[in-house]
Structure 1
Amino acid sequence: VDDVWRKTHAETFRVGNQSRLLLTTRDAEVAAELGATVQPVPLMTREEAVCLLEEWADGNLREVDKGLKARIVERLGRLPLALRLAGAQLRSCEPNSWLATFDVYRLNAKRIEGVHDSLVATFELSLKELKETQRQLYTSLAIFKEGESIPETALHKLWSGLAEFDATQTAELLEDLASRALLTLENTATPRCANLHDLLRDFIASKLNAESRRDTHLRLLQAYRLTCRGMGWHTAPDDGYLYSHLAYHLKHAQQWDDVHTLFKDQNWMHTRVPQCNYDYDGYLSDLMIAWENAHKRTQEQIAADKMPTALAACVRYALIRTSVNSLAANYPPELVARAVAIGLWPPQRALSLAVKVLDPRQRARFFVALLTIDQLDYDTYTFVKQQALNAACAIRNEIDRGQLLTVLSWQLQGEEREQVLRERRVEVGVYEEKRTIGPLIQQLTGDELRRELTAALAIENDEEYRVNLLSLLVPQLTEKDLLEELATVRAIEDDDFFAEVTMALAPLLRNENSQEWLASTLAIQDKYYRVQALAALLPTLKNKKREEMLRVALEAARAIEKGYESRAQALATLALHLMDEERRLVVHEVLEEIWEIPDGWCRAQVLVSVAPLLTGENLRDELETMIKAKSPETHALTLAILASQLMDKDREQAVREVMDEVWVIETEKEWYRAQVLVAVAPLLTGESLHEGLNAARTIKDTRLHLRALAALVSRLTNGERNQVVREVLERVWAIENDWDRVPVFEAVAPFLVDENLHEGLKVALAIEDERARIQVLAALAPSLPRKQVYETLLEFVESSLNKERSEVLQLCARRNFFTPTSLSTEIFNAIAKHIIEICRKWQWQ
């Protein structure tokens, strides 16, 4: 008897003790009531399912790709009725199109004569047997993620919220639904889990409209919210389901305030990451839900021609995401591999870290280090090996690429080894350090070993030696030592970029923000960057605090080693903030430092900074020193820089002298000719201006030629200016290096109008290097429509998600993007707070 739904239906066929009854049913309870022996029908194998599909397609699938047929049967869940109905439809349908437009409600026979001619009719019959409340609760299962098992604990929370079910009622209904073949139960799992057939899930999902679906998500969240022990979702206990699915349910319940609250502080990170065994993937998945909403709101604000206040949230989420990327690069690969080798870390945690490393050289080192341990299963080992090869081949520097490919080849054999060796571009040898210091290191123990390890971790200017030393030291570590060393690499510091951002945002900081920022600035290790950041903050500080910080900055500047440009540059920066006699003394100190700098161009750069402060005696002394310079190019460059500080007649004479010396500079030193023209350009008029144009056009190097021309553009009248700008834009394509185009664009950007602006934007957008493109677009920003500036900003924030944190900080330092004419003070202050909090205060796991 086929398809028995009622016990009484089967009783009719029990005619005597000598008879045997074989029946099929979807309700196991019917068989139990009849006292029958139950023989569950297992799910068809993929091969069996494909055969049945082909049979019902009447031979029309013989030439179809096996992979496509496998995808079709998996989409149908290998359900025999579904395979029969689909096979009949595929006799006249193209398989790819059929799969792409699949709808469970259209899975019918051409002529529906009975329940078995429609999959939906069959499902409807099953649901009809349920009571109304049971049917509603079963339908509610459609809110859970497709393809995942549903823990009974989560089901109890949902059904308690919908129908006030207790744990016993939940268990009873689950068993009843399982007996009706409406779901399956994993009784071996802890807690017990329910699984829905994909087609059944499609069917019940159609029963929920958008409003009821959102309400069902809300009911589940409300039930979980009652378990919170304090303020915030991080205070709710984890039942094995909540933490991994909270953001998903908040999204579908449209509880966006709750989503964004998860990332307003560190609490959710400190809860979520340990729950995932210190793997950030789950936390980042939650973060991207918040990012997508903030990104959408920003787009909507831009489209409505409103100030994009949501952009600050986008920057915040980009900082969090990129901090994790930067954190991954902080771990020495040898330490991570050792942690896996001794069982401190599972392999998956190490892999999660390795794939987030952005630099291909460092990423290749990670995967190569993992290949040296024995804790990887075959599939993981194969994955790691391929990732190591991909990363090594992506290294641009030939020497670095060759070294990593050689090291990788040591871990392989046979054809695989030959394949890697064929990828090499240069021949490199085995590291000498392993031969010379290896035996010594193997004798170290305890404090001696830890001192050597600390020294190895501190090596910055010789990465190759550091790698070799670590590879020898790490295997000697105990578990305790390893735990402590892993903890030391978790801090992320970006002194130079933090200083750059401080200089860009300082004028826009309110007093309370500048005080908070000051503490982070004082923590900058590099003295030069600390001085630059402090100098930027000085105007935002009040009298007593300002004087105190000025003294701190001067002390840091004078602590920089003599003979370095950075010392003179730091003192020159601070001289601007001093008064009268003290300023004169510091300027004199800078002038003495300048001539200790060996490089002429570096000397010129410091002179540019200090030139506005040169008057009277200082200026005369400097001119006398300059006249004694040995080379005409140094003389011309220094005079060009100082000429702006001279009085009228002296200035004219200096400009005339500079223009005479421009032609004396030797052709092979045309770099100096270009820099002299750039420096003197603001002072050129009339005949000297045209002489400057002629001199610029004699420069053969395209890069230098265009930089000199671009510097002269500001001095030209409209007609001639547009002609020269057009000349620059037409030739800028010939500059091969993207970064060499940047100063050219920055010089001509203020003068781009109409067709020239359109052409300039076209060239800028074609720049491949993202950071260079940002800088060029920042230069163009004042000339661009505000809406386009916002769209560009959002695009670059989005593109930074898969980079390191410094990329986001560099973007925030672009003055033409982040200006009061572009963004409101509210957005500036929000972004400033985000940078301080995430870069300086958050404690990363």
Structure 2
Amino acid sequence: MIDTSLAPSLPNYYVERLEYSRELKTRLLKNSSDVGALVVTAIDGLASVGKSTLAMALAYDQEVQAHFCDGILWVTLGQQPNLLSLLSAWVQALGDYNFKPISVEATSNQLRTLLYEKAVLLIIDDVWNIEDAQAFNVGGASCQVLVTTRDAEIAEALGANPPCCLDVMEPSQAIELLTKKLGRSITAIEYQPAQDLASSVGYFPLALSLAAAEIASCTTWTQLLEDFQQEVARLKNLNRPKAEEITDETILKRLRLTASLNLSLKRMPKEKQEHFSWLGVLPKNVTITKMMAATLWKMDIYDAAKTLEYLENKAVLSPGVPLKDGTPTYRLHDLFHDLARNLLTAPPNPEDEDNLSGLGITLASAHATFLENYRNKTSKNLWHTLPNDGYIHQHLVWHLSKAQKVEEIHELLREDSETGGNGWYEACARLSQTANFVTDVFHAWELAENSWNETTLAQVIGLQCRYALIIASLNSLTVDLPVGLLVALVEKNMWTPEQGLSYAIQSSNPSQKANLLTQLANHLPSKLKELALSKALAATREIDTRGAEDEEFRAQVLSSLAVKLPPELLSEALAVAREIHFESYRADAISSLADKLPPELLPEALVAAREIQDEEFRARVLGSLADKLPELLAEALATARKTEDEFRRARILSSLADKLPPELLPEAVAAAREIQDEEDRVSVLSILVDKLPELLPEAVAAAREIRSEHCRADAISSLADKLPPELLPEAVAAARKIQDEEYRAEALGSLSDKLPELLPEALAVARVIEFESSRARVLSSLADKLPELLLEAVAATREIQNGYNRAQALSSLADKLPELLLEAVAATREIQNGYNRAQALSSLADKLPELLLEAVAATREIQNGYNRAQALSSLADKLPELLPEAVAAAREIEYEKCRNDALSSLANKLPPELLSEAVAAAREIQFESSRAQALRSLADKFSRIVTRGSRCCHRDSG
């Protein structure tokens, strides 16, 4: 549940404006499909009519909060918003603190995924241009957007239907606001002067609150009205020589508001006026904290808090969003900000004594002074050591730029931390403000480009390379995690399904993205699963198909997707399959989709099948479609018979054999008999005999003619359990003719199920197999069949010299003779190869748990990091306490692909407390690869820049 913590607090003198709020609330409570973006706008485009306040009231309305059950998100944009930072704040409000924002587009997409299934009200306050608002228009079907803007055209462009045009207050509302701000009732004697004053200030909520603050300071209604009217007249004369000709209501409203502001400031003590003026050095729409104000005004925090309270009581400041610890913050209205900024540079002794006194300094000097106050808080004059005050880390580069200290910006981004990393990145990362770091880097890059001339060319190129490297390093933080690790994070509730999906979607590599989304889909709720599959299909379509390897991968992804795709995506999937250039992979893709296709798509699939020129591949697709279109079997069989290559023809016939109806079997037999190669002919006949047992003699005869002894043994083994008694002697004779002991033993062993008397012969043959690994394998396979020959099998096994092979064979025999276990353990201990010894001990530990500790000790002796990690991973099934050691071993693997594989194999076994370490390790893989590539390309000319730049994001990337 997202709370309204991003929304500013309502002022305690808020007055409900039901003529607007009822209509807006009704729109918000309708279904999203019935309502577009909702916009509150001033009818004349002027500020201070209460647009933001009305939006705040809706944000805090209980019915609205109940309707948007997943919460409310608020953002205030203004004229020059830091979009990346503001978008990042929304991502974090949704609970995702792992996302590393690099671009506005990527962060908007992240939000779009996180909000896909949520019912959230998105409030975009103070919009000045359409593009800024569009970046935050990221809600799903159950979300709605509420926008406030001074420009009715923006409201219409954003789709508000119709925009809600907010005007000044009604007279009764104005009196209610004055009463609430005063904290008391207005007496009968005061009522008429109060009405006159409200009318004079134009019923602007901001002007009314300023007026109430002056009345609370013991100014009389009559005096305030008189002063106000004089100030309006003065401003008319100041701005327009012919003041009596000013009749335009828009101009009059602006003058009245300015007059209200001026009067409030003129009644402040000189010291407070100066404090207000210094607020002009801040950016617009900024959050003001007492810690920042203490630095700005060079006073202690207690006095700064009192001064802020004073300005709020005077209605100069409005309440902002409280900090997490409840500390109040404040906001400065745009109009007040403009006045404060003007007072910074205005002369201290104005020619017109009625004008406000300024500070008489340039804006650049004001920024430099403010920065010097902060510089005094650093350690060793290093900016990255600044303490966090909720302000400066977001705005330091902006102030340096305004102070015209461009070189200091470049120096800031070069500062090294004590650990050797980029100090400013680490400072921002600690505060979860990496978006600000990215913005700072791009701003510095732009400043470098703008300083280009013939004299500075070398320096500019160096800076550009450095900033390009930093951005590349940052981009590497957003690349895909190993798929097993990503799935594990979601399965173990370390990440929400939305988070996992958004990370998969982030991948810039279509192949990786398609694979991640396909594997993740089964671990997502239904709606997110549909989105994941849709995105996976789109990514599959984007896979570069210039090479066979890429086309093969596209076909593989489609095959994985086929069983998961909802019916509405099958048409697109078939279109993607048809786009595959290589016919083999196209056939694979279409075949994988065949049994899912609805009747209306079968004609298109059939056309696609017939377009394939290669007979084998065409027959394969026709056969896959035959389950739904049986009439295609004859065409598929005819196509198979046309295939010139006998091996491929045999493959097709074998795949079709089980599907053929009785009337097509004779043709299939004829096609099989046409195959000259005995091995290929047997492979088809052995399948056809299930339907036509009378083919068995022919199949055995063909098997006997196979030249390759390995293939002949396989053919006999495949036929063995189908042979009737009368054919067994011929099969045995064929097996005995095999010269190679390993293949002869296998063939005899397969026939022993029907002729147990062959077992002694098979064992005797196995004992003389030259290669020990083959001897061990055959003996192990025979062990289940010869209980009465076990002792002889043991004797044969003991003759094996290789410890690993002997241990494996003894272990398989120990199921029948448990007393062999100790001998198997002894053989295992003789294994010289550490990985093999660990694996053998681990397999024996299922039968002798007391061997586990010895298996662990043997595993720790393994020098190869990949083998050690894999062995530890297998042991962790029995000893979960080994998992931290397994992760540590995986992180030490030098070859990155092996490290990735090891982490993936571990992912599903890791408890939540180890997943974060695995994530960090996975990110290190990608980051180091990118860093190495950047170093190779830039090291020749910019070795110092590259070396320091390549460290920029390493330390806190996890």
**Shorter-normalised TM range:** 0.3 to 0.5
TM-score by length of 2: 0.37
Higher share of residues assigned helix:
1
